[in-house]
Amino acid sequence: MKDWRKILEKITDYKWRLPKTYKSNMNVDGIIFATEDLLNDIIEEGEALEQVANVATLPGIVKNSIAMPDIHWGYGFPIGGVAAFDPENGGIISPGGVGYDINCGVRIIKTNLTEKDIEKYKVKLADKLFDYVPSGVGARSKFKFSDKELENITEQGLKYLSKLGYTWDDDYNYIEEFGSMPGADFSKVSQTARDRGRDQLGTLGSGNHFLEVQIVDEIFDEEIAKKFGLFKGQVVIMIHCGSRGFGHQIASDYIREFDKVLNKYGIKLVDKQLSCAPFNSKEGQDYYKAMVCAANFAWSNRQLITYQVRKAFSEVLNRSAESLEMKILYDVAHNIAKLEEFNNKKLVVHRKGATRALPKGHKLLPPAYKDVGQPVLIPGDMGTYSYVLVGMKNSIEESFASSCHGAGRVLSRSKAKKIVQKTSLLKKLSEKGIVVRAESDATLLEEAPEAYKDVSKVVEAVELAGISKKVSRHRPIIVVKG
């Protein structure tokens, strides 16, 4: 086993350097944000640190290959990785740096309800949400869209859904890219991807995706919480899902395409899973345009789930969603590549299992959050807590305006299934007042709390680094999983 303690250089108690001398072909250092505790977990796995070094070998990488405290092994790039590439200097775009689930992300919907208001409705709500939001592998939508509508959704996102009546007037203001990322081109998406995605809009999927009804358990910053519309005891709904089979197929298609042109562009990989193409090449641009389609698909997916959540609450509580003030707090991607400006230079920033974290005053912030900063939404596990953070000024310099995205796994899915007992898990969750609805036992066991790092430690590490800071903590009371 490699002695990473001798290789890593301590910069601070929460920041470590993986020097570019570690591998002869590294172009930049690796930087890992982690407390001593979390670093032990990261070292124990080992493969994720190797992937940080591998990413540092890619053409056109700028500054550092960055790892968040929730880092763990992924396809090519580590999950919890951030890397920026200069397109004017041979910088690449890589599907492995985005992930198969393009624009997997998180949305929070607020309400004016408290736990007491819904206590007697919890089981009914759980059943209704489970019915209205299909989950599980290959789940099929309750919405039906034609090929032309799918094209419009993927190219226009929320702009098109609003014409169909699935949005409230100001929903778009509280979504990254306003729910309609420019640059999409449906002609770059294969027929296979179209066929896989057409019937999956409005579905959760499986794995770590979920819909949770949560209670705001603690407020850490009263002033910012007030700006976000959060208060202690409040009922909120968190949605975590992505672009389903549509995004997965796009990733698969373009990984195959990129594999064919590596020699053409003189790109030598230390790991074949890092397959890439220059961002400004035809192949790079084709993938980017297809990826944007998948990003808009994912925002539309979460919007259609929001539509169903509002409907479910309205029917169970016999009140309109408007009277319940079911507004979006924010929606942010954590698997995406975007052209963003840093120090007057446009860079292709890959965030894979990492969340954008803009500080106050940033030009890309929605008007409502201009003077506080961007909400950073951090799901934990289904038995403990999730957090809302806010982006801080330090994020620009330290991490290309990025933060962590969740708790991060410590047990593989297969290992979790071996050691977790369903009866015991459900008993523990029930004792905490958590109602669970799951499409499969396997997913339930894979996603048990013990499969994840302590999210509070992950959040502490990014707060110490000045990347983002805590605003509120939420505990689940209803969990819907695939």
CA distance 166 to 300: 9
Catalytic sites, residue numbers: 405
Nearest to 359 by CA among 402, 318, 327, 320: 402
DSSP category for residue 382: T
Residue 63 neighbours by CB distance under 10 Å: 17
3-state secondary structure of 163: helix
CA distance 269 to 287: 19
- Residue 148's Cβ-count burial label (10 Å; 0-12, 13-18, 19+) is exposed
**Please, what sign has the CA dihedral across residues 88, 93, 97, 103?**
positive
Ranges assigned E (strand) in 34-140:
61-72, 79-85, 92-93, 105-114
CA distance 57 to 48: 15
- Partners of 402 in the β-ladder: 356
The secondary structure of the chain in percent helix, strand, coil, rounded to multiples of 5, reads 40, 25, 35
Nearest to 377 by CA among 236, 244, 479: 236
Nearest to 136 by CA among 450, 411, 441: 441
Q: HSE-up of 393 (CA within 13 Å, CB side)?
A: 2
SS3 for 5-22 is HHHCEEEECCEEEECHHH
Containing H/E element for 228? helix 222-228
